[in-house]
């Protein structure tokens, strides 16, 4: 349904210029209008379908801030000022040398890419994993069932759905530690095509990140890894709709005062002309990123490259804006990143499995090292 809005009315809300706001919040829900932030100082109300065809398909970046009520989170999404960390996270000192390499190398030796290929085949067979589509719910159910089956190896592990205002749930698998402090490894599960109804295999974006963290989780579950810090694996819903799933989870973690020592985001791990992992330095925490570099170098044998998105391009930005230390390791530098994403051409056939292997190694290394923080 479309609603005609009188344009030109500009309202200043917490230093954002919001154009053409609808009269009432209930109206917003009725017509599914969304408030998207398109630059540091501007936001606009737009329909769900226009969000996809006018922004996602044209590679114009935005963040959906409709449900973000916390002014501190909105301010942090500008990426300008230094983000204030929660007290516990600010106190963390990330080590400058790694002390669990033997344990991590044993786990890395268990990486099985046949598993990853099977999961990714199924994920890409869903017509789309778009977060508001019926097949996006089915793909989430498939993922939940797969994770639950893997988790059965260790009865201490809990797998839950984190539900949102849209149909696709996020999924959280938790390996309890002796401490309730959290180390989080995340990847978005959804995909998007050039329209909300278009074919979207989402092989690289972000099937690869999803199976990178799934194989890491499988190895730790099957060995009954018992960490010091509680390890959580997150498969976020609705990232392509503007970081929706991760925004919901991290807002919840902020309001329930959870302690997050580190969040590592894996978004796109299987396209790498440069042949090197890339650490992103914006909307991330500098100290954690330095520690991540050390881990990448140790467990892949490659010194990572450095890049920036220039905007809050993935779920690490949700962790950051809620005051949690986050890091992002990607397959390529931004300028030469995979040109096929958000289209029917992002297929299984073009996935570079040695890049996925590198990311899985560093993710296993990160999970084990950071579990001792
Ligand atoms: N995987 C991309 C982000 C990305 C692309 C990172 C290329 C590094 C290089 C992510 O799924 C995405 O598409 N994000 C949106 C923004 C989001 C807030 C809707 C984008 O980049 O346009
Ligand atoms: Zn994307």
Say which residue the tokens 């698998």 belong to: 173
Give me the pLDDT at residue 186, please.
Answer: 99
CA distances from 326 to 89, 250, 310 (A): 10, 11, 16
Distance 314 CA to ligand 1 centre (A): 6
Q: In the prediction, which pLDDT does 332 show?
A: 98
Tell the burial category of 11 from Cβ atoms under 10 Å away from its Cβ (0-12, 13-18, 19+): exposed
- Which residue has its alpha carbon closest to ligand 1 atom 13? 240
Place of tokens 């991290």: 250
**Rounded CA gap, 194 and 57, in Å?**
5
Report whether residue 210 contacts ligand 1, using a CB cutoff of 6 Å: no
**Buried residues in 118-130 as b, exposed as e (16+ CB within 10 A):** ebbeebbebbbbb
**77 within ligand 1 shell (Cβ under 6 A):** no
CA 300 to chain centre: 22
Question: pLDDT > 70: what percent of the chain?
Answer: 91
Cα dist. 189→143, 169, 213, 243, 267 in Å?
9, 10, 11, 11, 9
Give the pLDDT mean for 278-292: 97
Phi-psi bin for 347: left (phi > 0), alpha (psi -120 to 50), beta? Answer: beta
pLDDT digits (tens, 9 = 90+) for 122-161: 999 999 999 999 999 999 999 999 999 999 999 999 999 9
- Ligand nearest to the backbone CA of 202: 2
CA torsion sign, 284 to 233 to 207 to 103? positive
Instruction: Give 96 Cα–ligand 1 centroid separation in angstroms.
Output: 30
Q: If you take atom 22 of ligand 1, which residue's CA is the nearest one?
A: 61
242 lines ligand 1 (CB under 6 A): yes
Atom of ligand 1 nearest to the CA of 309: 8
Q: Is the pLDDT of residue 25 over 80?
A: no
Q: What is the value of pTM for the model shown? A: 0.91
Mean pLDDT lowest among 46-60, 97-111, 213-227, 301-315? 46-60
Structurally, at CATH architecture level, domain 87-370 sits in: 3-Layer(aba) Sandwich (3.40)
pLDDT score of 201:
98
pLDDT, residue 21, reads: 53
The reply to whether ligand 1 has any atom less than 6 angstroms from the CB of 267 is yes
pLDDT band of 20, cuts 50, 70, 90: low
| Residues with Cβ within 8 Å of residue 193, at least 6 apart in sequence | 57, 128, 130, 199, 200, 342, 343, 344
Q: Can you tell me which atom of ligand 1 is nearest the CA of 267?
A: 1
At residue 79, the pLDDT reads 66
Q: Which residues are near ligand 2, the ion (C-beta closer than 5 Å)?
A: 205
Tens-digit pLDDT profile for residues 156-167 = 999 999 999 999
Place of tokens 């990426």: 79
Say how many Å lie between the CA of residue 179 and the centre of ligand 1.
Answer: 33
Between the alpha carbon of residue 72 and those of residues 39, 85, 135, the distances in Å are 17, 11, 35
Residue nearest to atom 17 of ligand 1 (CA): 242
C-alpha of residue 97 to centroid of ligand 1, in Å: 32
Task: Please indicate whether residue 346, judged by its CB atom, sits closer than 6 Å to ligand 1.
Answer: no
Strand partners for 265: 186, 328
Q: Any idea where the domains of the chain sit in the sequence?
A: 7-77, 87-370
31-59 pLDDT per residue, tens: 679 999 888 888 999 998 899 888 988 88
> In this predicted model, what pLDDT tens digit does every residue of 161-210 receive, in sequence order?
999 999 999 999 999 999 999 999 999 999 999 888 999 999 999 999 99
Minimal-distance CA residue to ligand 1 atom 14: 313
Residue in the structure block whose two tokens are 């809300």: 13
Ligand 1 in contact with 167 (CB < 6 A)? no
Q: Render pLDDT for 232-273 as a digit per residue (tens, 0 to 9).
A: 999 999 999 999 999 999 999 999 999 999 999 999 999 999
How many of the other CB atoms lie within 10 Å of CB of 110?
13
Tally of CB atoms within 10 A around 215:
24
Alpha carbons 101 and 290: distance in angstroms, whole number: 18
pLDDT above 80 (res 30):
no
């Amino acid at each position: 349904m479309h609603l005609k809005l009188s344009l030109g009315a500009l309202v200043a809300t917490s230093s954002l210029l919001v154009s053409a706001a609808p009269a009432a919040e209930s109206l917003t829900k009725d017509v599914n209008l969304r408030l998207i932030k398109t630059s540091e100082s501007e936001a606009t109300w737009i329909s769900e379908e226009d969000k996809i065809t006018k922004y996602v398909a044209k590679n114009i970046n935005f963040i959906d801030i409709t449900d973000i009520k916390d002014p501190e989170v909105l301010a942090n999404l500008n990426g300008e000022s230094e983000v204030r960390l929660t007290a516990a996270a600010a106190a963390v000192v990330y080590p400058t040398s790694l002390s669990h390499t033997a344990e991590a190398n044993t786990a890395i030796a268990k990486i099985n890419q046949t598993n990853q290929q099977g999961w990714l085949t199924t994920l890409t067979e869903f017509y789309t994993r778009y977060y508001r589509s019926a097949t996006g719910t089915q793909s989430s159910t498939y993922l939940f069932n797969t994770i639950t089956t893997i988790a059965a190896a260790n009865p201490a592990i809990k797998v839950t759905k984190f539900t949102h205002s849209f149909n696709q749930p996020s999924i959280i698998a938790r390996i309890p530690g002796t401490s309730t402090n959290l180390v989080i490894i995340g990847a978005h599960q959804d995909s998007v095509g050039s329209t909300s109804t278009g074919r979207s295999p989402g092989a690289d974006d972000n099937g690869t990140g999803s199976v990178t963290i799934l194989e890491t989780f499988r190895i730790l579950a099957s060995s009954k890894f018992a960490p010091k810090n509680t390890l959580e694996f997150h498969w976020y819903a609705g990232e392509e709709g503007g970081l929706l799933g991760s925004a919901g989870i991290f807002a919840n973690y902020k309001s329930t005062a959870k302690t997050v020592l580190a969040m590592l985001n894996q978004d796109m791990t299987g396209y790498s002309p440069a042949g090197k992992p890339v650490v992103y330095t914006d909307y991330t925490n500098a100290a954690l990123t330095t520690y991540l570099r050390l881990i990448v170098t140790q467990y892949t044998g490659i010194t990572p490259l450095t890049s920036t998105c220039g905007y809050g391009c993935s779920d690490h930005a949700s962790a950051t804006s809620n005051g949690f230390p986050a890091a992002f390791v990607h397959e390529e530098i931004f300028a030469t990143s995979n040109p096929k994403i958000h289209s029917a051409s992002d297929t299984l056939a073009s996935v570079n499995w040695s890049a996925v292997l590198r990311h899985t190694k560093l993710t296993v290394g990160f999970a084990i090292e950071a579990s001792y923080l």
